[in-house]
Structure formats: C-alpha cells, structure tokens
Structure 1
Amino acid sequence: MAHLARSIFILWLLTMLPFFGNVLSRSSEISVAIQNLLKDQDDLTVHCKSRDYNIRVQYLKSHEHFLFHSRPNIFGTTLFYCSFAWEDGVCRRFDIYEYDRDKTYTDITWQIFKKGPCRFIENNGHDDNTTRKKAYGYAFFDNICFQWSHNSTMAHLARSIFILWLLTMLPFFGNVLSRSSEISVAIQNLLEDQDDLTVHCKSRDDDIRVQYLKSHEHFLFHFRPNIFGTTLFYCSFAWEDGVCRRFDIYEYDRDKTYTDITWQIFKEGPCRFIENNGHDDNTTRKKADGYAFFDNICFQWSHDSC
C-alpha cells in the first residue's frame, strides 16, 4: 500500500507540474532602481535586505543608481527594507518594496533625497499628460514621496527614555527591596535511628552550600523574597542506604506570611514549625525540642528526583 500511495503521489505531482509552473510564472519579476539625489552631491551608502536575500552594500556617487530584481513570493508577504547613510553619520531606514503597497508595479525607481525617498513608476507607454512628469530624462506617471521610517529613531528614543526612567526609579526600588522582610529558614535533622542527613538547598539565583547534619543538629539560612513574589528554594535530603528525597523548602505563595520557619526532617517527610513569637494559643501551641510553636504541618516529599 505504501508503494502504491507513493506511485500515485508521484504521478499526481508530474501531472501538476505545469500548474505549478503557471503559478510561478504568473509572479512577475520586479525591478527596483535606487538613485542618489541627495543635495550637496553627498555620497550615499545603501544596504537592502529581505528575510531571504541580502543585497550587498552599494556606494553611490551623486546621481548614480543601482538596480536589483526579485519575484514576489506566492503568499504576498515580500518585503525589502534598506538603510541609507550619508555624511555626518546620518542613517535612515525605509521599506523599499512592500508587497501590499507596490504589488501593481513591476518597474519602480526610488530617488533618494535627504527629506525622504520618492517613488517613480515608469510610464510604460502611458500618455496621461495630467499625471505624467519628466524627471531627469525619464517619463513617469506616478510620483509619490514618503517619510523615512521611524524604527531606529524611535527605538533609540525609547531606550533613552527607559534608561532615564530606570535611573530615577532606582531609589524607589531600593526602598521596595528594603521593605521586603528578611526570611529565616532553619532545617533540623530528626531522622529516625539517628541517621546523619546531607542537605543541599538552592534557588534560581542562590546556591546554599551542602550541609552535613548529625542527629538533632540544624543549620540556618536567610534571604529576602524578590519583589515579584516568585521566590522558591528547593532542597535535596540524603541519608543512609542511598535514600534521596526532594522538597520545596520555601515557596512564596505557601510561606509568605511567615518570617521565621523551622523545618524538622523525618524519613516520612518534612514538618514545618512556625515559631510562637509571643503567641499564647494553647489550642495550637506545641512544645517541640524546647521550642514553642503555634503552627505544625507535615508534608509529603516531592515526586521530583534529586
């Protein structure tokens, strides 16, 4: 069946080749000329590109021109854009062929002035004296001048405004960061059988070095949550017999209301204890290894591998 399907496809392709040839042949070749008419007879450097083609850099003396040819693609998305540079470091940009704007023409001449490019369409036998103009020895029936694109100028302006805004906002960001309370996280080894515990905690930005904890030992680390509310510290916990478990030890959405957190590590999972800090709610307060706590929740290990 696969062989039969392939044979049918090849036969269909051979019969359709004339059609594809007609489609491609109906896409007329476009001729685009660019002429340097800068005042003061300045030299002009031109570099044109499309998504698929790079026309090499052209250096034009006053009144010189160059020409390139192309066939618009069958999707109607052909676009050639050019940069134009002259003395005093001036550089401008313009879309020299834009399919929707220029699709009705096959021969286009662009004359480049400092104020902007002007498009001239060759007369091709037209004799409409109401619109035809004589320009430098050529007969044209369409003459439209355009403004330069604002892409590079606007991008530079936007970048300058952003940098200025950033400089003025730095004191504000400093205040925001200083108002972000410091978080204290303690991790204590309460593994059964008094096993030693190896702990390695990280965030996207910080790597807390590996900690080796004997039974009932603990270590402490501090940080400030970022201003975006996305702070996450995750840890791996390893003990004897090659066991390794993983858990998100600080997750902003889960832990953001606390500034002092103690995690007690058991083989079945980590338990979070929040220090009492003066609370005297005997219904929730628990005594654990000499500390008074008012919140005690145990979690399961993450399913992620170490």
Structure 2
Amino acid sequence: MGGLAKMKTLLVVVIGLLIPIVAGTKHVSIKNMLGSGRNMSLHCQSKDNDLGKQNIADGNEFGWDFSDNVIGTTLFFCDLGWQNVQEFHFNAYSFARDRVRCGDAGCSWLVSVEGIYGLNGQTGFWEFMYQWPN
C-alpha cells in the first residue's frame, strides 16, 4: 500500500473514532431564578453562531440545540446582566469541560442572586459554578 493510500486509511479510522465522541445533538438551557420579578439580559454565541440578545423574565429560560464540531473545540459563551450585575461573561458550553459533565441531559444552568449553578449530568446535583464579582 502506497503512502497516500495509508494516509487515507488512517484518516478514515481517525474520523470513525471521532464521530461517536461528537455526534448527536446537545442542548443548553439557562433559567432565570433571580426572583422578585427581576429580568436578566442574555447574549450567547459561539465562533460561528450568534444567538442574539434575549430578555429573560424571572422564572423563564432560554435554550438552544447544537452539535459539537469534529475537532472537539465547541464553545458557547454568554454575557449576562441584571440589576446588580451589569455584565458577566461565562462559558455556557465548553466541549473540554462539558462533554462528560453535562451528559445526555444537556447543560442546564440556573442564574440566582448568589451566582450561577450548573447541573452535573453525571451526579444529578446542582454545582455552584460562577460567583458574581464584588
């Protein structure tokens, strides 16, 4: 087998190994649990997709579906603001952090007056992930 044929075979094997890792649709949701009727502004995006600015009423949520890219670098980040926090930047989905942590349930976030909690799909417990700046 020539060098080019070996290279093609190797590429097919590598792609075959990667597809199960990144295949499938993921879901991210961010719920406003600030209470007392407080609305929050939210603007989420990736390198390729801008989900637009959202105004999320107290008790409501915003979510979206996507698929991981083949090279495993998918990242969605958000800017969030509300009465006491003018702008807070956080990663709503990072392939490296969330591929396993979020699991099949998807990545769920709760925004509260204390900070942001993320659901650990492996344990089923909410974890305190981000604290508001002083």
Equivalent residues of 1:186, 1:262 under 8 A apart: yes
Aligned-pair Cα RMSD in Å: 2.9
Q: Which of the numbers 110, 115, 123 marks the counterpart of 1:269?
A: 115
For 1:194, what is the secondary structure of its paired residue?
coil
Give deviations 1:40-77, integer Å, cap 9, x for gaps: xxxxxxxxxxxxxxxxxxxxxxxxxxxxxxxxxxxxxx
Give deviations 1:147-170, integer Å, cap 9, x for gaps: xxxxxxxxxxxxxx8xxx6xxx7x
Q: Which of the numbers 58, 79, 88 marks the counterpart of 1:245?
A: 88
Deviation at 1:295?
Answer: 2.5
Q: TM-score with structure 1 length normalisation?
A: 0.34
The yes-or-no answer on 1:215 pairing with 2:45 is no
Q: Please identify the structure whose Cα radius of gyration is greater.
A: 1
Q: Give the Cα–Cα distance (whole angstroms) in 2 for the partners of residues 256 and 302 of structure 1.
A: 25
Identity of aligned residues (%): 24
For structure 2, the 5+ residue unaligned runs are none
Q: TM-score with structure 2 length normalisation?
A: 0.73
Q: Give the Cα–Cα distance (whole angstroms) in 2 for the partners of residues 238 and 207 of structure 1.
A: 17
Letter in 2 for 1:210: K
Equivalent residues of 1:177, 1:227 under 8 A apart: no
Deviation at 1:242?
Answer: 6.2
Letter in 1 for 2:56: L
Alignment: residue pair count: 119
Most deviating of 207-216 and 176-185: 176-185
Q: Give the Cα–Cα distance (whole angstroms) in 2 for the partners of residues 235 and 216 of structure 1.
A: 19
Q: Give the Cα–Cα distance (whole angstroms) in 1 for the partners of residues 79 and 88 of structure 2.
A: 6
1:256 paired residue number: 99
Letter in 2 for 1:297: E
The yes-or-no answer on 1:182 pairing with 2:25 is yes
Deviation at 1:302?
Answer: 8.0
Q: Give the Cα–Cα distance (whole angstroms) in 1 for the partners of residues 121 and 61 of structure 2.
A: 15
Equivalent residues of 2:22, 2:72 under 8 A apart: no
2:75 paired residue number: 232
Q: Give the Cα–Cα distance (whole angstroms) in 2 for the partners of residues 241 and 222 of structure 1.
A: 29
Equivalent residues of 1:197, 1:212 under 8 A apart: yes
Equivalent residues of 2:80, 2:88 under 8 A apart: yes
Q: Where does 1:136-215 land on structure 2 (aligned, <5 Å)?
A: 176=19, 180-215=23-58
Deviation at 1:177?
Answer: 8.3
Deviation at 1:176?
Answer: 3.1
Letter in 1 for 2:125: D
1:297 paired residue number: 127
Q: List 4+ stretches of structure 1 deviating above 6 A.
A: none
Deviation at 1:220?
Answer: 1.2
Q: Give the Cα–Cα distance (whole angstroms) in 2 for the partners of residues 219 and 183 of structure 1.
A: 14
Q: Give the Cα–Cα distance (whole angstroms) in 1 for the partners of residues 119 and 90 of structure 2.
A: 15
Equivalent residues of 1:247, 1:302 under 8 A apart: no
